[in-house]
Amino acid sequence: MLRTAIRNMANKPLLEQIKQIIPPLSPKLHKGQAGRVGVIGGSQDYTGAPYFASISGCDLSHVICEPGAGAGIKTYSPDLIVHPILNERDTPDSIRSKLESIVSRLHVLVIGPGLGRDKHMQNAAKVALQMAREKGMYVVIDADGLYLVQNEPEVVKGNNRAVLTPNVVEFKRLCEALKVDTKGEPSSFAPLLSKAMIPSAAHLSAVDNIDIVLHVQVEEIKEPGGLKRCGGQGDLLSGMTGTFLAWGKSYVEGGLDEGDAQGEKIPEHRVPLLAAAGASILTRAVSHIAFEKLGRGVITGDMVGEVCGCGLNGRQMTNGTCRSVRHIQLSSASRERKDGKVRCDEIRAGTRA
């Protein structure tokens, strides 16, 4: 029975599975049930990255940063919960003590946006990764979090709850560090890196302008993105991945959904793949829409404003490829289901208090 259910789920269109883990809009839910995400990052030089990684639609967003970044990040949004606690004098033990009370409240950690490469920040990332593994938490690793993985791959080896979001350059560096042969078709590199680093883990990487998502199965996301490669888009991606993972965790734990119309429940092992794919589709879509409006002048802040109008309901599937719908409803796109629950088919930007 279980094998049949998994096989049927694998044949179900990817987008439908992604939509299934999105929490319903229901008066029965309380604050925090639809995602509590923590971002480990934010340094004196990089304050924008953790903001972009924290503003993608979960209920509560925490940013854990160094003191020099805290004030700046707080001014970007009053919705963010900012903890400027990572000091240069901290030891691994003191970092763990500071993080414990915060991390224990979260569904997911996103490690790397604005992290920087200073020793104390890299140590904080390492401790956070260890804590996440001990607690069985999902974790997204991006930016200078990947620099840590590049130098110390053992921090994530064997962790099937880790999702890596490297860009092309970061992906090549990881391949070099893990001695992955990059001869041949670029699309074959990601499975090799996955096998070398994290068996059965999910990776999302940019190869030849196509995002490749791995979790036993391989999914290629060919959603068109914008042509302006401004900084910050990767931070949106990692933050959205964290949000989808938080939703997936809540879905698996129950209380948010009871399966689809056929009573099929998405298995837990598929959540990282669906989170990575959903984040990839959404990030590319908002980039594309913002670029169509503003062209060369577009910046990542403009893309944040498009998240609310680019729900997963506003997609069309054509030959297995998602493409943007030119006219997207900006009003609420929720729908009531037969069981009386309301599913959010539209993802709104920002946190909900």
The residue segments making up the domain with residue 52 are 2-343
Binding residues for ATP: 183-187, 225-234
pLDDT at 326 over 70: no
Residue identified by tokens 């694998």 is 10
Q: How far apart are CA 57 and CA 6, in angstroms?
A: 29
Alpha-helical (H) ranges within 56-188 are 67-76, 92-103, 119-135, 144-151, 168-177
Residue identified by tokens 């006219």 is 327
Binding residues for (6S)-NADPHX: 114, 167-173, 235
Overall average pLDDT of the 183-212 stretch: 65
Query: Can you give the pLDDT at residue 272?
Result: 93
Residue 350 lies in a domain: no
Alpha-helical (H) ranges within 112-167 are 119-135, 144-151
Query: Which of 88-92, 296-300, 341-345 shows the lowest mean pLDDT across its residues?
Result: 341-345
Residue 42 lies in a domain: yes
Residue 93 lies in a domain: yes
Cβ distance 25 to 334 under 8 Å? yes
Residue 229 lies in a domain: yes
Q: Into how many domains does the chain fold? A: 1
Binding residues: 114, 167-173, 183-187, 225-235
For the chain, give the percent of residues with pLDDT over 70.
Answer: 75
Q: What is the CATH number of the domain that holds 319?
A: 3.40.1190.20
Tokens of 223: 């959603």
Residue 213 lies in a domain: yes
Q: What is the mean pLDDT of the chain?
A: 81
Residue 179 lies in a domain: yes
Residue identified by tokens 């994530």 is 156
Query: Can you give the pLDDT at residue 211?
Result: 60
Overall average pLDDT of the 300-324 stretch: 58
Residue 351 lies in a domain: no
Query: Can you give the pLDDT at residue 265?
Result: 86
Angle at 238 between CA 235 and CA 241, to 5 degrees: 145
CB atoms within 10 A of CB 292: 15
